[in-house]
Amino acid sequence: MFSECDLVLIIDEKGRKYIFRLKKGGKFSSHLGTIEHNDLIGKEEGSMAKSQLGSEFLIFKPLYKDYIVKMPRGAQVIYPKDVATILLWADIFPGARVVEAGTGSGALTIALLRAIGTTGMLFSYEIREDFYKKAMKNIEEFMSLPNNLILKNKDIYEGIDEDIVDRVVLDLPEPWHVIPLLENSLKNGGIFLALLPTTIQVMNLVDSLEASRRFYPIEVFETMLRYWNVRGQSVRPEHFMVGHTAFIVIARKVAGNPSLFPRSMEHWKIGF
């Protein structure tokens, strides 16, 4: 049942989505009419609600993917398809110690927190104070601020405070500057992942990873998402698809003799 202060997602008859927090005496208004918050409090998730104009809405608690595309933002949020890929390919597991930078609007931060569970630790760096404050607010709005999140208004290029972390996940314009800082911060066998929008950035990062001779294998790929429209006998792809949003570069830190690992470009690939 919905209670006061719960976040609620309502979907109108054309599939448009709206998210707001319930408050006694509050109102939601759109071109389809007004719904009293009091009429939603106490309703079961998945119920129908009517505006005073007679328009019907479905009501749910918002999913993560609904919230991050609607939440206030300073920086561009990472698309849900990329978040899902990051969590799987970086092998974010319950209990993991993870360093993230930059936090941006906090979309990936929320996903990382849910993946590491209550036994993990997340250390997130954000250089811009306005983004730092907005991320803090967005995280608290969706899930409350957990004790295992250390959010820092700090430039990670100046140094990483943590040592022996399992994963390093970066959404930065020049992530190659972080590579020299990983000698003591990222444990051997740990995973380094960076999200980058352009091929020039990808080339610079891969060159730096190879030059360090401490990361192998190195993989580069992107993900694309296309919805399909199924109506009776008509089955066709949607005209709009979420195509290129970013490249993902992923590598593992190696121990032992670095000279044993090849540096040739033949040993990394771009996958589609």
Residues of each annotated binding site for S-adenosyl-L-methionine: 105-108, 126, 155, 171
Contact 102, 131 (CB under 8 A): yes
Contact 218, 210 (CB under 8 A): yes
Can you say which residues are annotated as belonging to the binding site? 105-108, 126, 155, 171
SS3 260: helix
Those residues with Cβ within 8 angstroms of residue 130's Cβ, 6 or more apart along the chain or in another chain: 74
Region of 136 (left: φ > 0; alpha: ψ -120 to 50; beta: rest) is alpha
Q: Rounded distance, CA 218 to CA 240, Å?
A: 32
Q: Rounded distance, CA 241 to CA 244, Å?
A: 9
Q: Among the residues of the chain, which ranges form H helices?
A: 37-40, 64-70, 80-89, 107-116, 129-143, 182-185, 199-212
| Kind and range of the H or E run holding 93 | none
Contact 135, 125 (CB under 8 A): no
DSSP label at residue 94 = T
Q: Rounded distance, CA 254 to CA 231, Å?
A: 51
Burial classification of residue 42, based on how many CB atoms lie within 10 Å of its CB (0-12 exposed, 13-18 middle, 19 or more buried) = exposed
